[in-house]
């Protein structure tokens, strides 16, 4: 894929006006209040993985509508109570939580690591998911982007983003975790979910969206023919009279609107040849993110597509977050 989007100079200052509904905050306050009518009911089942330096647990908690959401929890073996910073990670589009043994980096770096399964997904690639989606939906196309797109109340990502907030609440309830040092992260769809949580949870320690999806929907659907954004395009090619209502629904789920409400330090990444999550959509969220420059950074992978930095970015995230923790101790 060649360069196809704005120039690096233009991307650095690209801050478009993205549609934002007047009742955005009320919609999400009400949604989360309804979810909290259900007890979190976190359950932990220790699993035998054959690993000696990491303790692994099969986790369940109540997400949207009280529905049970699964996750893996990995900890440094023998961790003391209330001692660990935590990382909550969200999965990319179509993937599931897989096996506990697939998620070892953060526990080995000294963190409690909760990897959330994404409801209804897990059969597109990877090692599978285990969480069903019980939400109602009207007519939709293939994939998840148009499930319930007839209204914000029915839209698929209302349920997913609520699950993701509850995952933070679940990890904060764990005996090993220092609840003041919880970071959220994810790549692609996981990055979009991360941005949603950044705007819905006001006291996170840090936020790390990697090549994030679900940002600036109207621009994305106008400049890329790649899925998953193209699922929306195909839907609108059939439902010709639904353009306004579809983008109204999506405005409640746009990462730009969440980013502008965030307040934690952040490390983004972007790939300038990414046709799946075009760089201008990533910068739409990054430039809306209000943290001052000392608490806000973006790693740019100029000659990469949607794979981004891969493990180069993982190493950068570990170093950045550990430095942030060390500096917070000094303060």
Which of 103, 113, 230, 306 is an active site residue? 306
By DSSP bridging, strand 84-90 and strand 54-62 are unpaired
Known catalytic residue: 113?
Answer: no
Q: What is the DSSP string of 33-95?
A: HHHHTS----EEEEE--S-SSEEEEEEEEE-GGG-EEEEEEEEETTPPTT-EEEEEEEPPTT-
Residue 318: CB atoms within 10 Å:
17
Catalytic: 188? yes
Catalytic site residue 274? yes
> From the CB of residue 48, how many other CB atoms can be counted at a distance below 10 Å?
7
Decide: helix, strand or coil at residue 192: helix
Question: What is the C-alpha R_g of the chain?
Answer: 19
Alpha-carbon dihedral sign for residues 153, 98, 169, 253: negative
Q: Which residues neighbour 172 within 8 Å (Cβ) at sequence distance 6 or greater?
A: 86, 179, 182
Structure tokens of 144? 């998840």
Catalytic residue among 56, 188, 251, 269: 188
By the 10 Å C-beta count (0-12 exposed, 13-18 middle, 19+ buried), 179 is classed as: middle
Tokens of residue 21, six digits: 């509904």
Q: Which of 55, 117, 274, 275 is catalytic?
A: 274
Q: Where in the sequence numbering do the catalytic residues fall?
A: 188, 274, 306
């Amino acid at each position: 894929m060649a360069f196809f989007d704005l120039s690096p100079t233009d991307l650095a200052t690209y801050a478009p006006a993205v549609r934002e509904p007047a009742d955005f905050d009320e919609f999400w306050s009400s949604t989360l209040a309804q979810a909290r009518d259900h007890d979190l009911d976190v359950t932990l089942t220790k699993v035998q993985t054959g690993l000696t330096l990491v303790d692994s647990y099969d986790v369940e908690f109540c997400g949207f509508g009280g529905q049970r959401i699964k996750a893996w929890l990995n900890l440094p073996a023998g961790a003391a109570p209330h001692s660990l910073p935590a990382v909550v990670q969200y999965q990319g589009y179509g993937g599931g939580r897989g096996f506990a043994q697939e998620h070892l980096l953060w526990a080995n770096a000294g963190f409690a690591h909760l990897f959330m399964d994404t409801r209804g997904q897990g059969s597109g690639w990877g090692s599978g998911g285990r969480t069903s989606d019980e939400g109602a939906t009207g007519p939709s196309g293939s994939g998840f982007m148009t499930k319930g797109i007839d209204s914000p109340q029915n839209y698929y990502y209302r349920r997913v983003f609520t699950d993701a907030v509850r995952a933070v609440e679940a990890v904060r309830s764990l005996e090993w975790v220092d609840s003041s040092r919880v970071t959220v992260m994810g790549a692609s769809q996981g990055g979009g979910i991360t941005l949603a949580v950044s705007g819905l949870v006001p006291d996170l320690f840090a936020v790390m969206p990697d090549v994030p999806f679900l940002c600036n929907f109207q621009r994305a659907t106008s400049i890329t023919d790649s899925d998953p954004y193209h699922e929306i395009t195909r839907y609108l090619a059939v439902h010709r009279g639904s353009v306004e209502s579809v983008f109204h629904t999506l405005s409640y789920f746009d990462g730009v609107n969440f980013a502008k409400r965030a307040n934690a330090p952040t490390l983004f990444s972007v790939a300038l040849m990414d046709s799946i999550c075009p760089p201008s959509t990533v910068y739409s969220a990054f430039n809306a993110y209000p943290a001052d420059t000392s608490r806000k950074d973006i790693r740019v992978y100029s000659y990469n597509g949607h794979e981004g930095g891969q493990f180069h970015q993982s190493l950068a995230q570990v170093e950045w977050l550990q430095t942030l923790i060390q500096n917070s101790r000094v303060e």
